[in-house]
């Protein structure tokens, strides 16, 4: 894992930035552990990467899709071989425990193999012509150069949802890595290079949002931006990209809720909410950040939940005993603390946690105790805004209808869950919940690579990554009419005569 993987990747060469400046990447569990210095790329670097991608596009798009798929499959094999090494690098740079970072790499592997298999499908659609001796076809074609910008919480899984289908479809890519997790994406890119990806097909630039990401979004040579991050940044990207009419795919925030009904298997629901709320230290766009509990079981369920959540082992993700890792950085720690204060000021009861963990063992990292608020009202800010930390807001409901109403009452709509043994209640929830993903008797996290992923309302702009729907993002439709009648046939006009 040498210093090469701390540079930009342009035309399959690891290169420094023209800016001459760098930023440090540090371990959130042990801030004195510096992983390395990465280039703070500027508009010139972005331009170089886009040019490389443009040039590569002219040949990559002509390679038969199944041949492109073979490279992706080999990249999947290499990721499989290096799964543990990459997971360790990922835990070191962004903190989540090893069992989670192994899952992150596995999601990229699954996506590699899935996208590779799609290169033998990428189905088009044909329909009969309204005229004789004429054939109507439509098929998918690549879009061109895709700019990919993602968050640090899934350094491989989320970029892979975008990059593998983009490449499978014949596009080339410029990927701006997250400043809090730039290293593991380089190890990912190295697998693609070794798998045989030609120069310029995948380029990587490191740097800050405004200067580096902003230049990518504004670049006229980029045809599409695929972004995962906050709703606020997503709106800014959308506004900037509209100036060049780029296609924009946005996967944004969430305020995901889990409903626990009075007939639920409570032990199962308990395990589900612990994983949903405190897995990845609550730093997932799919995290369970609201728990809506039926009034008749509320007190007993919350008592059990606090008892279990209190025993969650906080620590360095490298340790096999750790269940909850650090939060990503100091700024995020302060932001979580601010939300906890807001919750208290709003009148909610903080029944667990509510402070950073600063004892001797933790003092070199950014740790925040799993935190639970009860007595939360749906209108409170801690029930409406994405906190991106280990903070769970518990809301009481007295019926399924009211629970669903509360669940739907935010500007987001990514993922939702309900625990019930009543099949009718489950079916109504599936029908009435406003979200892109609904789990029955499972927590709000756990999306699989081959299924559509994305949300409604301000969680996105209507696209779905994952599965076959990713190809709707990364392809255009081309319609072809083949007239073999030997005559000039006029659609709409001649069709009348037959």
State the residues that interact with ligand UN1 by CB under 6 A: 107, 153-154, 157-158, 284-286, 445-447
Which of these, 380, 364, 464, lies nearest to 414 by C-alpha position? 464
Using the 8-state DSSP alphabet, how is residue 442 labeled? S
Alpha carbon of residue 219 to chain centroid: 23
Which of these, 423, 428, 354, 365, lies nearest to 389 by C-alpha position? 354
Between 131 and 414, name the residue whose CB sits nearer to ligand UN1.
414
Active site annotation includes 251: yes
Catalytic residue among 285, 357, 386, 465: 285
* E strand or H helix at 136: strand 134-142
**Cα 231 to Cα 66: distance, rounded to the nearest angstrom:** 36
Smallest distance, Å, CB 308 to ligand UN1? 20
Catalytic residue among 118, 251, 323, 465: 251
Contact in structure between 400 and 425 (CB atoms under 8 Å): yes
Alpha carbon of residue 366 to chain centroid: 23
Which of these, 190, 174, 167, lies nearest to 89 by C-alpha position? 190
Smallest distance, Å, CB 452 to ligand UN1? 12
**Cα 435 to Cα 418: distance, rounded to the nearest angstrom:** 12
Smallest distance, Å, CB 468 to ligand UN1? 17
Which of these, 159, 389, 403, lies nearest to 287 by C-alpha position? 389
Between 324 and 445, name the residue whose CB sits nearer to ligand UN1.
445
Between 48 and 286, name the residue whose CB sits nearer to ligand UN1.
286
Smallest distance, Å, CB 117 to ligand UN1? 19
Smallest distance, Å, CB 104 to ligand UN1? 8
Between 366 and 388, name the residue whose CB sits nearer to ligand UN1.
388
Between 28 and 200, name the residue whose CB sits nearer to ligand UN1.
28
At CA 383, angle to CA 378 and CA 385, rounded to 5? 135
Q: Provide the greatest CA pair distance for the chain.
A: 88
Smallest distance, Å, CB 282 to ligand UN1? 10
Between 154 and 278, name the residue whose CB sits nearer to ligand UN1.
154
Smallest distance, Å, CB 50 to ligand UN1? 26
Which of these, 372, 365, 291, lies nearest to 332 by C-alpha position? 365
The runs of H, that is alpha helices, within 221-280 are 231-241, 266-278
Phi, psi of 288 (to 5 degrees): -80, 100
Smallest distance, Å, CB 435 to ligand UN1? 13
Contact in structure between 366 and 96 (CB atoms under 8 Å): no
**Cα 436 to Cα 424: distance, rounded to the nearest angstrom:** 20
Between 40 and 250, name the residue whose CB sits nearer to ligand UN1.
250
At CA 471, angle to CA 469 and CA 476, rounded to 5? 125
Between 199 and 446, name the residue whose CB sits nearer to ligand UN1.
446
Between 46 and 285, name the residue whose CB sits nearer to ligand UN1.
285
Alpha carbon of residue 19 to chain centroid: 29
Which of these, 306, 376, 312, 285, lies nearest to 339 by C-alpha position? 376
Q: What is the DSSP string of 193-210?
A: HHTTPPTTSEEEE---II
**Cα 81 to Cα 75: distance, rounded to the nearest angstrom:** 10
CA 369, 178, 254, 317 torsion-angle sign: negative
Lookup: tokens for 493: 């006009």
Residues tagged active-site: 251, 285
């Amino acid at each position: 894992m040498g210093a090469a993987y701390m540079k930009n990747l342009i035309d399959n060469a690891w290169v420094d930035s023209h800016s001459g400046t760098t930023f440090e990447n540090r371990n959130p569990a042990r801030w004195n552990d510096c992983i390395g210095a990465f280039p703070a790329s500027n508009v010139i670097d972005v331009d170089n990467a886009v040019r490389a991608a443009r040039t590569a596009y002219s040949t990559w798009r002509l390679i038969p899709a199944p041949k492109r798929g073979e490279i992706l499959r080999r990249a999947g094999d290499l990721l499989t071989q290096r799964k543990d090494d990459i997971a360790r690098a990922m835990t070191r740079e962004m903190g989540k425990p090893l069992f989670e970072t192994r899952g992150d790499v596995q999601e990229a592997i699954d996506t590699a193999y899935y996208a590779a298999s799609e290169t033998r499908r990428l189905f088009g659609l044909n329909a009969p012509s309204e005229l004789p001796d004429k054939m109507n076809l439509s098929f998918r074609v690549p879009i061109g150069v895709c700019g990919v910008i993602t968050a640090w919480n899934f350094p491989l899984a989320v970029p892979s949802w975008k990059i593998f289908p983009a490449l499978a479809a014949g596009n080339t890519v410029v990927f701006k890595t997250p400043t809090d997790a730039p290293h593991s994406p380089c190890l990912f890119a190295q697998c693609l290079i070794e798998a045989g990806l030609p120069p310029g097909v995948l380029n990587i630039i490191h740097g800050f949002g405004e200067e580096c990401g902003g230049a990518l979004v504004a670049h006229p040579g980029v045809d599409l931006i695929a972004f995962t991050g906050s709703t606020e940044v997503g709106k800014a990207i959308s506004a900037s990209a509209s100036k060049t009419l780029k296609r924009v795919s946005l996967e944004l925030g969430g305020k995901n809720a889990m409903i626990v009904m009075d007939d639920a298997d409570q032990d199962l629901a308990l395990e589900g909410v612990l994983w949903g709320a405190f897995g990845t230290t609550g730093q997932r766009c799919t995290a369970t950040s609201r728990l809506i509990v039926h009034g008749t079981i509320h007190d007993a369920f919350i008592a059990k939940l606090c008892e279990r959540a209190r025993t969650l082992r906080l620590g360095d993700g490298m340790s096999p005993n750790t269940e909850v890792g650090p939060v990503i950085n100091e700024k995020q720690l302060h932001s979580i603390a601010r939300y906890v204060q807001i919750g208290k000021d709003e009148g909610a009861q903080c029944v667990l946690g509510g402070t950073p963990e600063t004892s001797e063992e933790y003092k070199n990292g950014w740790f925040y105790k799993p935190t639970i608020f009860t007595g939360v009202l749906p209108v409170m800010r801690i029930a409406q805004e994405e906190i991106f930390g280990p903070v769970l807001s518990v809301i009481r409901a007295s019926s399924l209808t009211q629970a669903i109403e509360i669940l739907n009452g935010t500007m987001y709509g990514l993922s939702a869950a309900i625990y019930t043994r009543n099949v009718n209640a489950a079916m109504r929830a599936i029908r009435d919940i406003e979200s892109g993903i609904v789990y029955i008797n499972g927590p709000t996290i756990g999306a699989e690579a081959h299924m559509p992923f994305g949300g409604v309302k301000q969680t996105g702009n209507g696209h779905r990554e994952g599965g076959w729907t990713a190809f709707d993002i990364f392809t255009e439709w081309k319609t072809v009419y083949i007239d073999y009648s030997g005559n000039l046939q006029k659609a709409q006009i001649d069709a009348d005569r037959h």
